[in-house]
Amino acid sequence: MTNLIPSFGNIAFTMLFFVIALSVIVAIHEYGHYIVGRWSGIHADVFSIGFGKVIWSRADKHGTVWQIAALPFGGYVKFKGDSNAASVGGDENVVSGRDTMLGAPLWARSATVAAGPIFNFILSFIVFAGILLFQGQPITPLTVSALPGFPENIEQQLEPGDRVLKVEGVALNYPDGFSAAVANVPSQPSVEYEVQRDGERMLVRGPQPQPAYVQSITPRSAADDADLRIGDVIVSLNGAPVFQFGDMVEIVNETRAQPIELVVWRDGETFTTTLTPRLMAILQADGSMMDEPKLGIGNGGLFFEPATTDVGIGESMKLAIQQVWFIIKQSLNGLKQMIVGNINTCNLSGPVGIAETSGSMASQGTLAFISFIAVLSTAVGMLNLFPIPILDGGHLCFHAYEAVTGKMPSDGALRILMAIGLALIGTLMLFAIGNDLLFCP
């Protein structure tokens, strides 16, 4: 079995960033319930981050107790009259009051319930838009801002400030024409670029436009377990030299799930490591998903850092909305493909897998970790809208029933449905934990 967390230092690092990610997402989700409930006239008795023994608390001027509990793996808002954090049942003496969850108008209760997932989506939107505003977008034509290191056998004559016009005689239009330009480049250590430098056009040699260069690492992948790092250059696979990222893809596809020996260049030195590709769900051109062998090494763009220009607020907002919607669609598609058996259920991670991913993304940098929080927040918002009793989506189904029939489900029926929902979620959680620890090392 794969050594999930090989040292105490890694345990502490992983748990720290898991708690940070989870706390941020839960706090935003629960704050959505709280603030919309308050706006709707529903009083919150307790706003808690974590469960169990309270280690800090204070009451605000509205009479809500804000607290942090000892177990930082979730949180809740307890509204007035509720007997529990799930807003099921309550004190009959106060439950009918206008400022209680069950005594408030249907519109107020529905808005309060829906606000949690909506605030998760808003968090993701703000993060994605903020990253776009911070990073900007590459200027046209592509201009080199900074260059990484490469092995000595790869000629490197590009310089910061160069405006890259062509590669091997093909216009390098980024991003629209990038794939077409890369497809025409021969597999060799270095290629010819036409650049504009200090107002003059010239030909220089440089690395492949998409070299065997590690730009990102998929958490819990073979590359992650082997401690490959961003900036590593893959020199060969199974003794065959690789110059383009596409060379690696071909070799991995041929070997499938057989071990592969990699020679890796890092900071002027080379070392050898052995990885076994893992099946990962990959989006196909027709919109379906299929398991393909992958090392978990990402290289989807330029090897150099391009000069950028500011992205307008309107454009960043549009792209952020598209990103949130894309994550939702892909998550639902992936779930569908697992149900019908097109992809492996190992693609479903539990808390251990999410914790590992938190640590892995944090090790790749601040932006990677913040982006991960945004992706996870979208997933949490989507999951909570599933029509399962105990989740927000289940509560909204109860409200829909009330809107149609004019009456709430009976307290006994609610308790039975909640027990069924808890059993479903518990079963799913146990299955996901089994994936993390036993079935999908």
Q: What is the pLDDT of residues 314-350, one digit of tens each?
A: 999 999 999 999 999 999 988 888 888 877 777 778 8
Helix pair 411-434, 392-405: axis angle to 10 deg: 150
* Comparison of pLDDT for 86 and 423, the residue scoring more: 423
Tokens of 43: 């009083």
Residue 119 in contact with residue 392, Cβ under 8 Å?
A: no
The pLDDT of 375-379, averaged and rounded, is 96
Q: Which residue has the tokens 């029926």?
A: 413
User: What gap in Å lies between CA 328 and CA 51, rounded to an integer?
Assistant: 29
Q: What's the confidence (pLDDT) of residue 94?
A: 52
Instruction: Please name each of the domains of the chain with its CATH number.
Output: 8-135+374-439 (no CATH), 140-207 (2.30.42.10)
High-pLDDT (> 70) share of the chain, %: 92
The answer on pLDDT for 7 being more than 50 is no
User: What gap in Å lies between CA 269 and CA 123, rounded to an integer?
Assistant: 42
The answer on pLDDT for 69 being more than 80 is yes
Q: What's the confidence (pLDDT) of residue 113?
A: 97
pTM: 0.84
Strand pairing partners for 144?
A: 306
Strand pairing partners for 283?
A: 289
User: What gap in Å lies between CA 145 and CA 163, rounded to an integer?
Assistant: 10
CA distances from 310 to 141, 174, 370, 415 (A): 15, 16, 20, 53
The answer on pLDDT for 33 being more than 90 is yes
**Mean model confidence pLDDT for the chain:** 87
pLDDT confidence tier of residue 249, bands split at 50, 70 and 90: confident
Alpha helices in 82-210 (DSSP H): 106-135, 178-183
User: What gap in Å lies between CA 223 and CA 298, rounded to an integer?
Assistant: 10
Among 177-186, 355-364, 403-412, the minimum mean pLDDT is found in 177-186
- Four-residue CA torsion sign, 419, 424, 427, 428: negative
Residue 116 in contact with residue 29, Cβ under 8 Å?
A: yes
Q: Choose among 301, 267, 304: nearest CA to 160.
A: 304
Residue 357 in contact with residue 348, Cβ under 8 Å?
A: no
Greatest pairwise CA separation for the chain in angstroms? 84
The answer on pLDDT for 385 being more than 70 is yes
The answer on pLDDT for 294 being more than 90 is no
Q: What's the confidence (pLDDT) of residue 9?
A: 46
User: What gap in Å lies between CA 63 and CA 349, rounded to an integer?
Assistant: 39
Q: What's the confidence (pLDDT) of residue 2?
A: 38
The pLDDT of 238-259, averaged and rounded, is 87
The answer on pLDDT for 54 being more than 70 is yes
Q: Which residue has the tokens 């097109």?
A: 342
Alpha helices in 143-202 (DSSP H): 178-183
Query: With 0-12 CB in 10 A as exposed, 13-18 as middle and 19+ as buried, what is 434?
Result: middle
The answer on pLDDT for 8 being more than 50 is no
Q: Residue 433 — φ and ψ, nearest 5°?
A: -65, -40
CA distances from 219 to 64, 298, 326, 358, 388 (A): 39, 11, 20, 8, 29
Q: Residue 118 — φ and ψ, nearest 5°?
A: -60, -40
Residue 244 in contact with residue 210, Cβ under 8 Å?
A: yes
Q: Which residue has the tokens 């057989």?
A: 258
pLDDT confidence tier of residue 95, bands split at 50, 70 and 90: low
User: What gap in Å lies between CA 153 and CA 164, rounded to an integer?
Assistant: 22
Structural element, H or E, at residue 425: helix 411-434
* Comparison of pLDDT for 406 and 178, the residue scoring more: 406
Q: What letter does residue 171 receive in the DSSP assignment?
A: E
The pLDDT of 213-235, averaged and rounded, is 87
pLDDT confidence tier of residue 83, bands split at 50, 70 and 90: low
* Comparison of pLDDT for 13 and 69, the residue scoring more: 69
* Comparison of pLDDT for 410 and 3, the residue scoring more: 410
